[in-house]
Structure formats: structure tokens, C-alpha cells
Structure 1
Amino acid sequence: MLTQLRKLIITLSLVLATQIFAEDGYRLWLRYDAISDNALASRYASRIAAPRASAEASETMKIATEELQRGLSGLLGEQYSDGAPALLLITPDSPSELAELLNDEEQDGLGTEGYLIKEIDFKENSHIAIAANSDQGILYGAFAFLRHLQTNQSLEGIRIVSSPKIGHRLLNHWDNLTRTIERTMVGASIWNWFDLPYYIEPYYHDYARACASVGINGTVLTNVNANATVLRPQFLEKVAALADTFRPYGIRVYLTARFSAPVEIGGLETADPLDPAVIKWWTDKIDEIYTYVPDFGGFVVKANSEGQPGPQNYGRDHADGANLLARALKPHGGIVMWRAFVYDFEVKEDRHKQAYTEFTELDGRFESNVSIQTKNGAIDFMPREPFHPLFGATPETPHTLELQITQEYLGGDVHLAFLAPMWKETLESDTFARGPGSTVAKIVDGTVFDHDLTAIAGVANIGNERNWTGHPLAAANWYAFGRLAWDHQISSEQIADEWTRMTFGNDEEVVSTIESLLLGSHQTVVDYSMPLGLHHIMYPGHHYGPAPWWNQGRPDWTSVYYHRADQEGIGFDRTASGTDALGQYAPEVQEAWGTPESIPHKYLLWFHHVKWDYEMPSGRTLWDELCYTYQQGVEEAGEMVEKWKTLEGEIDQQRFARTLALLKRQHSDAAFWRDACLAYFQTFSDRPIPEGVPKPEHDLEYYKNFELYHVPGHPGEQW
């Protein structure tokens, strides 16, 4: 009996140990598990060590050295030597014998955040140096060096020089003070407001580490649908606690400003931006914020959009509103990112056109510390959008590019959709603002119009699930945003390769399989949900799943407003014969996109109403092409399931099982999208579904009446 009990205890202990140490994704891409010696078979393999920070070192330098010690001991294992350092950290404050190892030209080119990693000779030995002009640059360089090791690259002849192309690189958290998160499906907010400032969650540091590892240097803590309560003193001390935690990692905190705050919490009767009492209230409030957070970054503002209050409530314009805040922030070094996502409930103009119409008229009127925060496309983070016409249209006003990391319209954290290819499509789009080569990326990084204020923002996909982002592969988008924010010239392929190796190891079969899944996934989602330029045909409210039939409420919140299907054809005519939204682009773009024959077919139905029998380049009719594209997306979703199955036994069981389950659901959802959309659109095309495409499993009424309840992230169910 005793023997059997002992065996049972041992068995239970093993099971418990397996559960405790299971790979749950919490470590993200900073896993630091031991790597093979293939790329490290050099003289450094047995003696590379990180220096230890002195007692007088800054908190940032201490974090950098601790990260190197943690990373090197994990990656190199028994090969790691904790003896005399072969790794040197050099800043202008280093002892002269070290600082003199780098020439001025090398240092000057790094700016305040860049770094240089190279092999140097010092005291008759060869070493690796991480050099920067600041401790912050050293921290970024430390993460870059560890990334180099994690991805199994050689140290022989190493030379890496890197500095950010964009100054402000921010996550926008659409988190509410109630800990609900708008448009994110991964649990509650990571900000535990009720416990702050008394208790700092340990994971706040891990969040900051992850952000710093990819160069993110700012975080907007609150939802763009703002709550003025966060500006009260009892919340500002909570904000200060987070700011103190993040500061050593180089991360500044920002807030969203509720434009009506002077009325809601200030006791004023108006929030008119030109009213002296309002000006004084905001000036005093911002001065107060800086007593709590001396390096407060500034505000993101959503105003006069979707019911949010703003300056137009008082007969003023966006420049009046933005400048009110900007003038109060300017003495402190803060900035305003005023969102261009504006459309008036009363304006009947094509929603695609409204932001351009409003903001081009204001160019030149904004304070120098104001940036227009502009989404990648003119509608609302659709699975695919042509670039926003505002980019390049305001030469005197910089733009903050706003991307959405959370997959509001791409299946949430349920569907796999690697977004780097979508973002690269926007970044590399040519605006022709100053001739060929005036890409969106060069507008945003200040190159085209010589702007000093440069910024990029990503709506975060982070919640309090153990693996941060829900889907085991969704953290790739957090990583991708950071890498592109730092350097928009990095390819999607490089980002996918880095993240996969850092997250799943360097086994080539595993790497190639996961990279293939990532790089094809965005197009797959587009194909089975909104192909050929279709957009905004998702279910209302929670946005998960299709509803091309939706026709209730204000027109530009419906689906039929956007696809405009009728017996003749489908698509939104935005040429001169329609709304002429195309006329907001440069002549070169208008010419390229002006006809169904010339436009890239990924944007076809975005700008053109096309007949069902229009002949596509494939030789098929538009109707058949639409059917086959939906089917292709479903087949590709099925292929993702089969590809992932080949990894069984090659990666940990926990991440394998969860990803497999989600991919299976994605395949099922893809078929639902195909069937629902084709059942509906067939009522207009009146043409048979072509051979090779399954007929919808149910009749149209079934899809119209299908309901999902309590979908996470739905703002209508957050309170």
C-alpha cells in the first residue's frame, strides 16, 4: 500500500511539475532558452559575459546589464562564462579608455536612441562592444544583441548599426478604467487601476521589457473613447505609479483627453476651446499632471467623432481644439496626437472623404507640437484598405500613422492574421506628394516635408490572458509593430523569421512551417471575408463574422452603404462618376486606380461599381471570381490547419493544442463567411455558384438570424 501511495505521489508530482513549467506563452519572444552552438562556434562561445552595473549606474543601465546576464546565461547555458567580460557597454560617460575606442562619426550617427554593436580590440583582446549615446540606446542595443543570438546568427565580424526612423513609437491601449477593453478579445485590461498606486504588478515590468525589446517608447494608457475621471488627482497618482515603473525602460506614458472634461470634472459650463476659463482650466490641469509625471508624453484626442465631444460642439474647428491642449503642453515638452478619424453624423458625404475635407483646410494652423493621428485607411481598419488620402496632403502638419494591432475586423484573437504584410502595403504606398517615392513611410518619418515631430501608434492587442494576446501566434503582431515602428524598411519575411525563432526555437522545419503560416495568413483572411476591395460587411456591434445584409441605423454604419450590390453589379463608385473620393489622391494615383482595368484588383470594389459579368484578368466573370476567391480563402484556412498538424511533437503540447483548436475554428468561420456572403450576393447576381465552390449549407435566412452573444471587446457590452 505504501509503495502504491509513493508511486501515486510521484506521478502527481510529475503531472504538477509539467503543468507548472508548461510553455504558456507568457515569456513572449524573450524566452532565452539554450540555443545550439552552430552559429556561436567562435572564440566568444566559452567566454562571453555581460558586465555588471555599478551601484552608481542608472536604472536603465542596470536593466540592460541584468537583461544581458539573464539572456546570456539562458542562451549559452554551460558555455556562458561569468568571468572577465568580453562584452563592453560604451557611452560618452564611460571611462575615456573605452569611449576613445569609438570615433565621433560612429557616435554622432546614432542619435539619442540608436546603438552600435561591433567587434573591437581592447587590452590585447578581442571584445564585442555595445555602444550608444545614452543608457537608453544601450538597453536597445542589449536587446538587439540578444536577438542576434536567439536567431542563431554568428558573432564573427559582427557589426550592427541601428537607430529609429520615427521618434514617438507608441502603443494605444483602448482600455477603460473599469478594466474592460474595447475591441480586444484577450480578457481584462492589464492595468489594475484599483490596486494602484499601492501595488505594482510584476507583469508591468515584463510588459515594459517586451515593449523596450522592440523599441516601443510610449504607451497611451486609456481608451480613445475617453473618460475624464483619469484626470482626477486620485487617478493621476495611479498614472504616476505606472510612469515610474516604465521610465527606466524608456517608455513615457500618455493619456487620452476627454474634450468635455472642464464641464464633467471641472465645474465649468462650457468646454469652448477659446473661452478664457477653459484655457485656464486645461493649463492648470496639464501643469498638475506634470507634477505627478514630469516626463508625461501628452494626449491622444478623439473629438467630434462617433458621438465624442469636441470643439465643433462650440462652433470651433479641430485646430482650435488641438491648439488649446498643445499650447499648455508645449512648455513641458508634451505633444498632441489629434485623431483624423472624424465623421459627422449629419454630413451625407462619402465617409471616405470627410477627414480629408476637414483637415486639409486646417493645414498650417496647428501648433508645432500637434500631429494628426491618421489611420492607415480612410474607413476603419478594414482587412485591406488603400492608403488614406490625407498622407501627403498636409505639408505643414505631421501625421502619426495609426495602425490596429488588435484584429477588430480580422477575427479578433481567434483568427490567425499576421499583419506585417498589410502594414508594409500601407507604408510602401506612394502618395506622390513631392513626386515619385513620397511613400507613406517617408511622410510619417518626416523625410518628405522635413518634419521634426514623427510618430506611429498601434492599437494594442494585449489583455490579461497568460500569454498576453490570446492566440499563441498573435504576439507576432505586437512584435511586428515594434520592429516596423523602429525601422519601416524591415521586410515582413525578416520580422516573421525573427519572431518565430525567438518564440519557437531555431529548428528549420518548425521555422519554415510557422513562417509560411504567418506570411500567408493576412491574404487568407481577406479572401474569405472581404475580397476584391469589399469592405465594412461585418456583423454590427461586435464585428465578428459577416452581415452583408445589414441595413439598419445610420447609412455609413451599415454594410449595404459600402458594397452597394444591385442587379447590375457590386462595389462603391468613388470615381468622378460617383463620390469622387479618388479625386483626393495625387493625379498619378488617380490614373492608376481610375478604371477597373488599371486598378490593382485588391482595391477593385473599393473604387468601382462593377458589373457581375465584367471579365476579370483570369478570364472569369466578376461573379465567378468573387465566388472562387471566397472559396480560395476557405481552402487556404484549411491548409493552415494541415500545416500546423505537421508540428505535433516538434513544439510544446500546450501551444500546439491551443493553436490547432483556433485554426480549426478559423476554418469553420471562413466557410461561414463564404456561405453567408455568397447566399446574400447571389440574390443580386442571379447567377449560379460555379463548379468547385460549395453551395451554402443553409438558406439566407439562417445566416441572417444567426447570433453570437457576449463577444469580448464589444463596446455595447462593456458596462
Structure 2
Amino acid sequence: MNRTVLYIVFSLCISAGCLKAEDGSRLWLRAEMTAQAQVKANRESPTITVAVEELKTQWKGAPVQLHIHRNKKLRNLGKDSYIISGDKQAGITIQSGSDIGLLYGAYHLLRLQETQNDNGVLQVEESPAYDLRLLNHWDNLNGTVERGYAGYSIWKWDELPAKISPRYKEYARANASIGINGTVLNNVNASPDILTEDYLQKVKVIADILRPYGIKVYLSVNFSSPKILSGLSGSDPLDTGVQRWWRNKIGEIYRLIPDFGGFLVKANSEGQPGPQDYGRTHADGANMLADALKPYVGIVMWRAFVYNPTPEDRAKQAYQEFIPLDGKFRDNVIVQVKNGPIDFQPREPFSPLFGAMKHTALMPELQITQEYLGFSNHLVFLAPQWKEFFESDTYCNGKGSTVAKTTDGTLFSHPVSAIAGVANIGQDINWCGHHFAQANWYAFGRLAWDHGLTADEIADEWLRMTFTRDEAFVTPVKEMMLDSWGAAVNYMMPLGLHHIFAWDHHYGPEPWCDIPGVRPDWLPRYYHNAGEEGIGFDRTTGGSDAVSQYHAPLKEYFNDIATCPEDLLLWFHHVPWDHPMKNGRTLWDELCYRYDTGVQQVREFQKIWDRMENYIDGDRFRHVQSRLKIHAHDAVWWKDACLLYFQTYSGRPIPYDIERPMHELDDLKKIKLDLRHHN
């Protein structure tokens, strides 16, 4: 076969989508490991060995020198920081004051190569925004994953410590490549068994595998562990016997895992035990654990996700419980706060705790797994949501006091800064259930390292590394990704609507849900308050007064219906159906148009993706195509369910230039999905 015929056959194969099949298991680390680069380091360690091996097998440029350097500049940058200098033709030097800094520098250099940004002279200085950049696994010891949509847990507790999955090392490599340096292995609804000797031996094996990649392990702990595991009469944090139990247990952990990171605690929340069971405060509980961890430089991450069945607005309760405790926590306690005041909703204002607790270290908690955003069926790129959160101005120290600055050490000085993301990882071959859900894992790591990156930059990097560098693919698919969060808000809960999901599993719409005997704040009606006069939750000074938890001028801004951002209008206001919006439409009409816009956006995503068939392998193309069909179906389901239901109160027609509902409301009310065992 001559060269011309070979070229024609190759061209036909490409146009027919005959690219090599891929299953997504390599994530964004798809560089062929066939290079034979010259790499030298001025010292040896397990971490430097990893860095050398990564560069030797993937770097396609001139020789690379890895240099541990303890000069003043590098010390000022911090232990995870690095400097890359030189050029691809003459040679590259990566300098850092630590072994892990060199590994991060190696991954940065390879990222530049794979995104084709390594041309010319390189002069790169990088330091992470947050000291601790953690994944929180909501993984149970029986292998299930709470709010996980990519199969069972990657931690195979029943096989450890004797059998070690190769995925543990692959997991470590993926996280190190984006700067993640900590992992909480188990669910915040923690089983005390994780602290037994058998399980700690299993944890030790995982810790040993992750250590060369700069990743420390942390554990979620049940506050009643002393009582449950050892039969103590209680778990009162001021009881000396309880304190002794924790000191002994922590000593046992550190003998096995000398670099153990510390504990994550969910206490007095959703039925979990805590210090309030004994008349103590969150600070009492956190400080007891912090004192026991202090000799080992361990930390306590104490979650602020607390609310009780009271008449008080749920959105206010975390603020009310924690503000009186500001300044009362030990310096190795970090209060972990969800990005919004309710619970990972498609769109929320930032939690008012950010900027309010000036004497206590706070760490944002973001949700990478899509509990409230269509699970692993919907393509929703979350970097735009997180950017909106980071850039929100708290005004706590005047204009420009963004959430990012209140937590990364810029405005308030604390010993450690941190951020956490609830992981979307499971045993599925592509790790995350949806190929595009990998982008959210990637985006979390990149923003935890540098929250100044744009969503566009992150999407661009991820697409080039995960699929192809062909601009004909990257440009339209990136636009789809950047539009996807806004689309989800449109077809689910536009204009500040929130928490109108189906009971328990949170997958589809159920704004009519009303279960006798269930506390009101677990039901949608509590949040949307739809009636003949209007819709929305009144959090103004004339309502629940949640607006007063925000600094001026935000309080006044949110409180006035004329200045409240329309994207949050129904979060802060109960609004008449005929309220005039800024574009001249009534609230009802605008609600209808927003829902319809979301549906049309997802259908456009289908068209964009179908045009991409010739640019990537058939397996991943068909997988995403299939998911987009579900996505489009669900968007219509959401639109019809919400508009037909709310129409029973508004009594107004759906604008006639909008696509008619495809369902009957009575039929939609009959849909009952059993997703309790969805992992």
C-alpha cells in the first residue's frame, strides 16, 4: 500500500470516528509515557523520585534540573512553592524549598507541554492560595458513598491491608498533579469503627501510598467514639476520662501514621452526636480534640453545617450558633463552612459567616459531587459557580473584602488556611460517572491552588489535556462548559428559588412535596412559599431578617427589592407574580422564560456535542452523547413540573412563544424514584 493510499485510509478513519477507544481512566493525565528526557536532581527522596520519573517519561524538551534551594525568596514563597526557569531548547530548572514543591513544579511543566503553553522562555513562580487543599470523601466503611454517583468507594476496606488496589496510586498521582495535598477518607456521618485498631492498620496502608505524592490522610470521627468503642459513660468534652481516651487514641494513630493530618467533625447536626448533648459548645468539643492533636501538629476541621427543627429561618442558624464563639477556638481548629447558608444549592448567596468570624480560621467547603445538580447524568461545570463564590464581596473590611480574601490569609492571619471539596470519585472506570464530571475534580484542585484562575482558563486546560488540542473541538465545547452551570440554574431553580428537589434523593423536581410529620425545613414548600399572591422566601428585615447577617451595604442591597440581584430575588424576597422585572416582563413571565431558556441551552449542548464526533474516540463520544439525552429529558421534566405547579398559584398563562409543556402535572406528581442505593 503506497503512502497516498495510507493517507487516504487514515483520513477516512479519522472522519469516521475511528480514533483509539478510551475509557476515561487516565483522566487529564493522558500524555504518552514514552519519552526519555534527561532529568537530574540535587538530592533523593521518594517524592523527588516520583517527580524525576514523571518528567523522564513524559517531558519532550531539553534536560531538566530539579534543585532543592533554601534561599530567602523560596522561603518567603512557602514550602509548596516552586520556580520554573529556562526554555524548552536550552534546558529547564525547577527550584523549590521542598521535595513536594519540586513535584508540583514537574506537573506544572508537563501541563504547559500538554496544553502547548511551553514555548519560549519560561519564568514561572507559583505558590498555593491555601495551605491545605483537601478532598472530603463521603465514603462509608461498607463501600457505599453518600451522595456519590460514580459507583462504590475506591477504598476497598474489606481487602485492606493485605490487598492494595492500583487505583490508590493513580488517585494520588491525579491529586498531586493539581495540587491537592490532603484527603479525608471517610464520611462525615462517621462510623466509630474507623478508629479501631483493624481500620487504623488499613488507613496506614493508604497513607503510605499517598505520602510520596505529598498527600496527608485525615479521618472523620464520630464524637461519641469513646462511649461507643470503649464503653465510657459518655463523651462529654470536659470529662477528664474522655479527654484521656482521645489522647490515647490520637497517640495510637500517630505511632502508625506519623504525618497524620487530623480530624474532620460533624457534630450536633442531622442527628450526629456532639458536645451540645452534654450542655457544651462547639468550641468546647473542637478544643478538646485540638488539645490532644496539638503535640503532633494535627488540626481539627469542625463543620458549621448545623441547623435544628425550630421556627427560625434555617439559613440563619449556622451564623447564630457560631458567631458567639468567634475567637474561642484553639489556633489548630478550622471551622469548615459550606459555600452557601443552606446546602450546596444550584445558586446561593455566600454564607454570611465568611467575613463575620474575624478571629477564627474558616475554610470553604465546596461540593464537587453533584448532589443537587443532576448527579452524574447532567453536564454541569462548576468552576463558574465557585468563581462567583470566591469573588463575592463580604464588605467585612470595606469594599474588596472578597470571600477568597477572608479565607486565604489575605485579610485575617491564622496559622493555617484551608479549603475542602466533597469528592465525586468512585469505582467507575472513568472515576466520576460522567466524563465531564472529571472537570469539576480538576477545577477544584486548580482553584484551591489559585482562585485567581478564570473558569475559561481551567476549562481550556482540562479539555486540551483530556480530549484534544484541536481548536475546532476546544472552542465550542469550552463554551458549552462555561454555559452549563447557568443552564442548570435556569431549568432547575432560577431567580433565587432553592431546595425544591424531590424528597430524600434530591434528583428531580418535587415542589409540591408535603409529607405529614416531616419537619418543615426538609420540604420544598418551606422555601418557595408559593401562593396566589406570589412566591419566594422573605428574608428582609420585615421577614426572617437573614439580610442583617450580612455587612453593609449588602444588607441594604439585598433588603431592597429594587436593588436585590434578580438572580437571588426569590431567595431574599416574597414577590408578587406581576412584579415588574428589569427587562419589563412580569415575574411570572420571567420565571417561564428562564425555565425555557435552560431547556433550550441543554438542547444546544446536544447539537454542539454531536458535531464533535470526529474529534475524539467513539467510546467517550457516545458516553457523553447518551448522558446529554438524559440531561435534556430531565431539563424538560424540571421545566414542566415547576411551571405547571406554580401556575396553579399564579393563574397565568405560560407565554405563548415558549414551548408548551409535554407532561400533565398529575402524571409528574406520580413519579417516584427510588435512588436510596444509588452509588
**Fold similarity call, TM over 0.5:** yes
- Percentage of pairs with the same residue: 53
Instruction: Quote the residue 1:127 is aligned against.
Output: 91
Which residue pairs with 1:112 in the alignment?
Answer: 79
Please state whether the residue corresponding to 1:619 is helix, strand or coil: coil
Residue 39 of structure 2 corresponds to 51
In structure 2, what is the equivalent of residue 32 of structure 1? Answer: 31
- 1:414 alignment partner, SS class: coil
Distance 1:634 1:643 in 2: 15
- Give 2:604's aligned residue: 639
Question: What are structure 2's unaligned runs of at least 5 residues?
Answer: 1-16
The one-letter code of the counterpart of 2:674 is Y
Given the alignment of the two structures, is residue 525 of structure 1 paired with residue 513 of structure 2, yes or no?
Answer: no
1:369 to 307, 328, 332: 332
Please give the per-residue CA displacement for 1:145-183, whole angstroms capped at 9, x wherever unaligned: 000000011431111110111001000000000010000
TM-score, normalised via structure 2 length? 0.95
The equivalent position to 1:446 in structure 2, one of 409, 433, 442, is 409
Q: Do structure 1's residue 334 and structure 2's residue 321 form an aligned pair?
A: no
Q: Shift of the alpha carbon at 1:711?
A: 5.4
The reply to whether residue 230 of structure 1 matches residue 194 of structure 2 is yes
Checking the alignment, whether the CA contact within 8 Å between 1:413 and 1:469 is kept in structure 2 is yes
CA distance in 2, matches of 1:501, 1:655: 15
> Shift of the alpha carbon at 1:348?
1.9
Aligned to 1:91: 68
Structure 1 residue 710: Cα displacement = 3.3
Contact 2:109–2:118 (8 Å) recurs in 1: no
Q: One-letter code of the match for 1:635?
A: Q
The 2-side partners of 1:291 and 1:50 are apart by 39
Matched AA of 1:654? D
Q: Is residue 2:531 matched to residue 1:566? A: yes
- 1:571-630 deviation digits (Å, cap 9, x = unpaired): 000000100001000011112212222011110000000000001111110001001100
Q: Structure 1, unaligned stretches of length 5 or more? A: 1-17, 36-46, 94-103, 715-719
Aligned-partner Cα distance in 2 for 1:199–1:130: 36
Following superposition, the deviation at residue 126 of structure 1 comes to 3.5
**Which position in structure 2 is the counterpart of 1:383?**
346
Which residue in the other structure is 1:475 paired with?
Answer: 438
Name the Cα RMSD after superposition: 1.9
Distance 1:32 1:712 in 2: 36
Give yes or no for contact 1:211–1:217 (8 Å, CA) kept in 2: yes
Q: Which amino acid aligns with 2:514?
A: N
1:455-496 Cα shifts (integer Å, max 9, x gaps): 100000000000101111110000000000001111111000
SS at match of 2:134: strand
Q: Secondary structure at the match of 1:587?
A: coil
CA deviation string 1:404-433 (max 9, x = no partner): 000000001110000000001010011111
Determine whether 1:156 maps to 2:133.
Answer: no
How far did 1:439 drift?
A: 0.7
Cα deviation for residue 33 of structure 1 reads 4.4
Counterpart-to-counterpart distance in 2, 1:521 and 1:33 = 31
Contact kept, 8 Å, 1:117 with 1:131, in 2: the verdict is yes
The one-letter code matched in structure 1 to 2:69 is P
Aligned to 2:249: 285
The answer to whether the aligner puts 1:489 opposite 2:452 as a matched pair is yes
Mapped partners of 2:164, 2:477: distance in 1:
35
Identify the range of structure 1 (147-156 vs 459-468) with the bigger mean alpha-carbon deviation. 147-156
Query: What is the correspondence of 1:164-563 to structure 2 with a 5 Å cutoff?
Result: 164-345=128-309, 347-552=310-515, 553-563=518-528
Q: C-alpha separation between the residues in 1 aligned to 2:238 and 2:245?
A: 12
**Is contact 2:23-2:430 (8 Å) kept?**
yes
Post-superposition offset of 1:112 = 0.5
CA distance 1:571–1:50, shift in 2 (3 Å): farther
Q: Report the alpha carbon displacement of residue 87 of structure 1 after superposing the two structures with TM.
A: 1.1
SS in 1 for 2:614: coil
Give the partner amino acid of 2:441.
Answer: W
CA contact (8 A) 2:40 2:66 kept: no
Q: Is the 8 A contact 2:151 2:427 kept in 1?
A: yes
Is 1:611 equivalent to 2:576 in the alignment?
yes
**Match in the other structure for 1:23:** 22
> Which AA in structure 1 matches 2:623?
R
CA distance in 1, matches of 2:253, 2:490: 47
Counterparts of 1:452 and 1:588, CA distance in 2: 30
**How many residue pairs get matched?**
662
Q: Is 1:303–1:311's contact at 8 Å kept on the other side of the alignment?
A: yes
Whole-angstrom distance in 1 between the partners of 2:96 and 2:552:
44
Contact 2:33 2:58 in 1 (8 A): no
Letter aligned with residue 168 of structure 1: L
Judged with a 3 Å threshold, the aligned counterparts in structure 2 of structure 1 residues 306 and 126 are, in CA distance, closer, same or farther, namely same
Query: 1:242-277: CA deviations, max 9, x gaps?
Result: 000000000000000100111111210101111111
1:297 Cα offset (Å): 0.4
- Please tell me whether the aligned partners of residues 48 and 87 of structure 1 are also in contact (alpha carbons under 8 angstroms): no
Which residue does 1:43 correspond to in 2? none
**4+ aligned runs moved over 6 Å, structure 1:** 18-21
